[in-house]
Amino acid sequence: MITYFKYYLRLFSILILFPTHVFGQTTILLDDAVALRDIGKQTYYLEDATLKLSINDIINNDVEATFVPNSQEAVNFSSTASAYWLKFKVSKAISDNFYLNVGSAYIDSISLYEFDDKGELISTRHTGDDLPFNSREIKVGNYLFALNFEKDTTHTFYLRVKCDQPLFFLLRVGTLPNFVAYEHDLDFLQGIYFGFMLLIFLYNLFLYFSTRERIYLYYIAYVFSITWFMASVFGYFFEYFWPNFPFLNGLVVVSSGLTMITATLFTQKFLNTKESGSAMHKGSMIFLVVGVLICVLVLLGFKIEGLKLSQGGLLIMSVFFLILGIRFKLKGYRPAKYYLFAWGALILGIFFAILESLNVTFVMTYLNAMQIGSALEVLLLSFALGDRINMYKQQKEDAQLEALLAAKENERLIQEQNIILEKKVKERTAEVAIQNEKLVNLNKEKDMLVNVVAHDLRTPLSHIRLLIQLIDMTSLDLTEDQESYLTEIDNSADRLSQMIGRILNIHALETNRVKLKNQVLDLVELVNYVVKCFRLTSEGKEIEISTISEPGNHFVEVDKNYTIQVLENLVSNAIKFSDRGSKVFLHIKSKDRKTYVTVEDQGPGISEEDQKKLFGRFQRLSAQPTEGEASIGLGLSIVKKYIEAMNGEIHCESQLGIGTKFIISFDSKDQLEEVRS
């Protein structure tokens, strides 16, 4: 605490006395071994913009006359591409071993030339972070050079420094115990800072692996980029991680670009800028581009340009994100409160760090302003993340409570609806039972009607046909018209009998009263029989019927009478719907344990719409018999029922204007068998 008090007292004195300050003595007298001495104001400096001046050029009288006095205790040349030469004289009044301290670990090139009181060059020492770490005279982060010359003598020193980063440092002299005490305090405070940053890093890394939320990944990357930069500024990474690879020190400014990138990604995720405001989200994308540009500039060797861009970019980014946080706080986003404090702390740290590098304000000794600001920022951002988790947890609990209340309300509504539905179901069940009873009665009446048709109509029709057949038309003196009338009566009675037979067949199928007498038959014989029966009909329409039977056995297990009716129906339809002079083909083949019969005509074909209702009862299709033959629309429905009753299948293939194929199939049998009922 005493050390801090002395430091700030000295700083206050400098600020008060600065307007009236005059340059101190040109010779530094070492007469006190108690404390470190800042000697910045007792030096002269010269800018070497060409980077070509050697020590021989410097000691030339014409060049040496251009040195100008340094006006402040901290040597600060800001961000520059030039090299600078410092000149100072040291005289020992006591014989203690003194050391010169260049108080920055972040200088690329340092050369110290020592001349005795006779003007002879007696030593040359070179070091810097462009050289391996073991090039340092004393193996510490800051640079120490021994001032080993006799008491009561005066030596002149020329110090050349060059850095692609901000070039500012404290120049001090003191004994080794003084510097050990200083390094002890420095390492203690830096240890607190880096330990704190490591703790934040590991804690949030654990949270990332626990939650797998990307925001923690962005946050730990952001913490790492800041820590990388600070550890490089104080030389810790160089000293402990790559002491023999100094070229890596030139990539330190890349961490500034990564800081911008990770801070932008974290902010976008934390504030949900993509969902909440497209304009602000698009504005934040600029900093991603700037961050990438900084990394590219540094990697391509434009370190000064990359550094200056990072200084301005970080400051503007911090202000932008501060405004963004204010906007979200005004919208009622609770975690934005900590976010605002965090970025406010970082802005102050960056602001003072930039002022420090621009030689506007004093240079801090143990911690820099950006370290203090970044430490406060990561701490407050951790609070912000925690508050964000609590907010989402509260929202989740509220949502669960609302869901529970809604579920209970839904349960109540469902119970009420169930009661209403049960009542309606009972009512509908009663209505359905009444309707079912009516349908049962109607079905009984229908069965009675069918029985009347079977017993009361078929017998008189049979009697009428028998009487007509008994009439000997040749023995009666009938006119030609009378004979045609009798013939027409006989034909009408026959058609009526067939119609009644079909109705009875349908009724039998629907009431499962069909008794099949299946036997293994040769399907070729049945086809030939049906073709023979329709020979006269086909010749009457000048239609040629052809039968094609592929080699092999075509045995199937079917009911002979029903199969004949099926084939008769299909052949009859083929003739009805074919034009005169066309052909009808019946093709029989057996394949893969199936026997197929194809009935093909050259009629008008059946449309796709008609094919969908082809096997329905009483269906009238768009195609009509070519010469007005009678059709009641029951044929194909009966055919399908017969075939399915015999475990067969039927389907239709048709193209308009080309013709139609009806294909029936049954399981093939190996040999003929007896009739089975």
Poorest-confidence range of 174-178, 400-404, 463-467, 559-563?
463-467
The predicted pLDDT at position 632 comes to 45
Q: What is the pLDDT of residues 532-548, one digit of tens each?
A: 888 877 888 888 899 99
Poorest-confidence range of 186-195, 317-326, 386-395?
386-395
Query: Cα–Cα distance between 410 and 406 in angstroms, integer?
Result: 6
The predicted pLDDT at position 14 comes to 37
In contact, 161 and 167? CB cutoff 8 Å: yes
CA atoms within 13 A on the CB side of 62: 2
User: What is the rounded average pLDDT of the residues 272-284?
Assistant: 75
Which has the higher per-residue pLDDT, 365 or 251?
Answer: 251
Question: Would you call 656 exposed, middle or buried from its count of C-beta atoms within 10 A (0-12, 13-18, 19+)?
Answer: middle
Sign of the Cα pseudo-torsion (321, 325, 331, 335, in order): positive
Q: What is the pLDDT of residues 58-86, one digit of tens each?
A: 988 788 888 999 888 888 887 788 999 99
Beta bridge partners of 45: 68, 86
Q: How confident is the model at residue 277 (pLDDT cuts 50, 70, 90)?
A: low
User: Which span out of 156-160, 464-468, 476-480 was modeled with the highest average pLDDT?
Assistant: 156-160
What backbone torsions phi and psi does residue 357 show, to the nearest 5 degrees?
-70, -25
Q: What is the pLDDT of residues 322-346, one digit of tens each?
A: 888 788 878 777 777 777 777 777 7
Both tokens of 238, joined, read 């160089």
CA atoms within 13 A on the CB side of 432: 6
Q: For 72-108, b where at least 16 C-beta lie within 10 A, e where not — what string?
A: bbbbbbebbeebbbbbbbbbbeeebebbbbbbbbbbb
Poorest-confidence range of 70-74, 200-204, 632-636?
632-636
Q: What is the pLDDT of residues 369-390, one digit of tens each?
A: 677 777 777 777 777 777 666 6
User: Which residues neighbour 133 within 8 Å (Cβ) at sequence distance 6 or greater?
Assistant: 139, 238, 239, 243, 244, 246
Sign of the Cα pseudo-torsion (373, 376, 382, 383, in order): negative
Query: Cα–Cα distance between 226 and 221 in angstroms, integer?
Result: 9
User: Which span out of 106-115, 355-364, 612-621 was modeled with the highest average pLDDT?
Assistant: 106-115
User: What is the rounded average pLDDT of the residues 613-629?
Assistant: 67
Torsion of CA 642, 646, 651, 657, to 10 degrees: -50
Continuous H helices in 544-634: 560-576, 608-612
What residue type is 121 in one-letter code? L
pLDDT higher than 90, residue 123: yes
Q: Which residue has the tokens 């033959």?
A: 629
User: What is the rounded average pLDDT of the residues 625-635?
Assistant: 60
The predicted pLDDT at position 633 comes to 44
**In whole numbers, what is the pLDDT of the chain averaged over residues?**
80
**Would you call 378 helix, strand, or coil by DSSP?**
helix
The predicted pLDDT at position 649 comes to 92
Poorest-confidence range of 504-508, 534-538, 637-641?
504-508
**Would you call 269 helix, strand, or coil by DSSP?**
helix
Query: Cα–Cα distance between 214 and 199 in angstroms, integer?
Result: 19
The predicted pLDDT at position 45 comes to 93
In contact, 260 and 310? CB cutoff 8 Å: yes
The predicted pLDDT at position 15 comes to 39
Query: Cα–Cα distance between 81 and 166 in angstroms, integer?
Result: 10
Q: What is the pLDDT of residues 92-104, one digit of tens each?
A: 888 888 999 998 8
Which has the higher per-residue pLDDT, 57 or 406?
Answer: 57
Query: Cα–Cα distance between 450 and 507 in angstroms, integer?
Result: 8
pLDDT higher than 90, residue 209: no
In contact, 87 and 80? CB cutoff 8 Å: no
